[in-house]
Amino acid sequence: MHRRTFIGGTFGLALSAVGHQAKAHPPKKLPDYNLPVEMLPRVVPISVSFAPFEIHVFPGEFGLYWTLPGNIAVRYVVGIGRPGLYEAGEFYVGAKKEWPSWTPTPGMLRREPGVYSRWRDGMPGGLNNPLGSRALYLFQPGRGDTFLRIHGTNDPSTLARRVSNGCARMVNDQMIDLYDRVPMDTRVVLYPPTA
């Protein structure tokens, strides 16, 4: 089955500012990522009684779950933070942005200046931007913006891998689907990595 047909048919019902403000350059059309069926979003039963309408990320299985009533969830395959950069904890969605701009964090600039220094003043939103089509900005009470994101990517080879600077990522069309479901202040739980 074609990916867009699958997502549109199965997940068509959507539930209903931070950083540098560079001008976004969204593409007119997203690429067809041609993911294998096992990497498409799907509705799955969940054995734990999570409250509906929350995000739970299990890094050991590279799974992000958008919980629904009746002990079911929409499961997405994600890429997560590299060892030492992934941060477990409880967060909430403190901002949402479409085709967000991106600025490397001070930690990224310290770790890999050769890679990130050219973008120290920010990169406009667009298909090649590291945050992709949409981003959910994760906040914590008393801390504010944690600089952790759930965001899009145009590189499906980064899914089901520990590749990022701490964020969870999914391909752009799946990120748009999740973004449209998730309201502000949604609870997000990032679980500790398992061996």
Put residue 160 in one of left, alpha, beta given phi > 0 → left and psi -120 to 50 → alpha.
left
pLDDT surpasses 60 at 179: yes
Question: Can you spell out the DSSP letters for 130-150?
Answer: TTTTEEEEEEETTTEEEEEEE
Across the range 13-22, mean pLDDT stands at 35
The pLDDT tens digits of the residues spanning 75-90 come to: 999 999 988 889 999 9
| pTM to 2 decimal places | 0.83
Report the distance separating Cα 4 and Cα 177, nearest Å: 11
Across the range 118-128, mean pLDDT stands at 90
Q: What are the residue ranges of helices labelled H in the chain?
A: 3-11, 106-111, 113-116, 172-181
pLDDT value at residue 23: 59
Report the distance separating Cα 73 and Cα 52, nearest Å: 8
Spot the catalytic one: 2, 25, 56, 167. 167
pLDDT surpasses 90 at 37: yes
Between 64 and 9, where is the model more confident? 64
Report the distance separating Cα 13 and Cα 68, nearest Å: 13
Please answer whether residues 124 and 25 qualify as being in contact, where contact means their C-beta atoms are separated by less than 8 angstroms. yes
What count of Cα atoms within 13 Å lies in the side-chain half-sphere of residue 118?
A: 3
Report the distance separating Cα 89 and Cα 86, nearest Å: 10
In terms of average pLDDT, the best of 20-29, 65-74, 158-167 is 65-74
What is the amino acid identity at position 121? D
% of the chain with per-residue pLDDT over 90: 63
**Quick one: tokens of 23?**
């001008």
Phi, psi of 132 (to 5 degrees): 65, -145
Beta carbons within 10 angstroms of residue 179's beta carbon: 20
Alpha-carbon distance values, 113 to 105, 118, 125, 166 (Å)? 11, 8, 21, 17
Domains of the chain listed by start with CATH number: 3-190 (2.40.440.10)
Mean pLDDT of the chain: 86
Alpha-carbon distance values, 167 to 65, 80, 112 (Å)? 15, 6, 17
151 belongs to the catalytic site: yes
pLDDT surpasses 60 at 49: yes
% of the chain with per-residue pLDDT over 70: 87
Look up tokens 């891998």; give the residue.
Answer: 161
pLDDT value at residue 11: 38
Please answer whether residues 125 and 22 qualify as being in contact, where contact means their C-beta atoms are separated by less than 8 angstroms. yes
167 belongs to the catalytic site: yes
